[in-house]
Amino acid sequence: MTDKRQAILDTALVLFVSQGFHGTSTASIAKQAGVATGTLFHHFPTKEALMESLFLTIKQEFADSLLSMVTEGGDLKQNAEQLWQSAIDWSIAHPDKQLFFQQYSMSPMLSLSVREQAMNGILGFISQLIEKGQTSGLIAQYPIELMLENCHGQYLAATRFFIDNPQLGKDKNYREASFALFWKAMKPD
């Protein structure tokens, strides 16, 4: 990735989180990134394309962080908890990126194809873990697509709580409770 492209993405992140998508102009992104507006449009033909690229780039960074925690074999519930806690840790370590997810993950501004690319492509390993859990009887037999959306919604709710209550982000009881709530939603009846 070129330095200019990365500068545009980094600046867009800060401005989209602080000013909102509609409150941020491409000219202000280019100016704060230290590039010409034409350079911004060379890398991203529209502001919507810039947001989609930013979303997918951050989602890939998030997935790469979690993938380093995926272990073959072992107890599925323990692996799920390790992934959950790692995801919470990532959100605490990257508050601007998590706030971006909070604002835009469910936004109609992101096309269905981009959301599907993030969920099924970038985070495809989550589907595999759910399927493994369903096969072993540890996870309820609901449609995978619905399970993924539920996992995503629970993650957003938990991270929103920890963003709003940063003093509780390291509290063992709250962290364990956040996973327990997640796991209970996944278990079969």
Q: What is the mean pLDDT of the chain?
A: 92
- 24's tokens: 């941020």
- 187's tokens: 């278990």
Q: Which CATH number fits domain 52-186: 3.40.50.1950, 1.10.357.10, 3.30.70.360, 3.40.50.720?
A: 1.10.357.10
Mean pLDDT, residues 5-20: 96
pLDDT in tens, 128-174: 889 999 999 999 999 999 999 999 999 999 999 999 999 999 999 99
Provide the pLDDT for residue 178. 97
Locate tokens 């993924």: which residue? Answer: 148
Q: Which CATH number fits domain 1-45: 3.50.50.60, 1.10.10.60, 3.10.180.10, 3.30.1380.20?
A: 1.10.10.60
- Please state the domain extents for the chain: 1-45, 52-186
Overall pTM surpassing 0.85 (yes/no): yes
Distance (Å, whole) CA 64 – CA 59: 9
- 139's tokens: 């996870």
pLDDT in tens, 45-87: 999 999 999 999 999 999 999 988 777 777 889 889 999 999 9
CA distances from 104 to 13, 17, 114 (A): 11, 9, 12
- 92's tokens: 């605490």
Distance (Å, whole) CA 188 – CA 133: 10
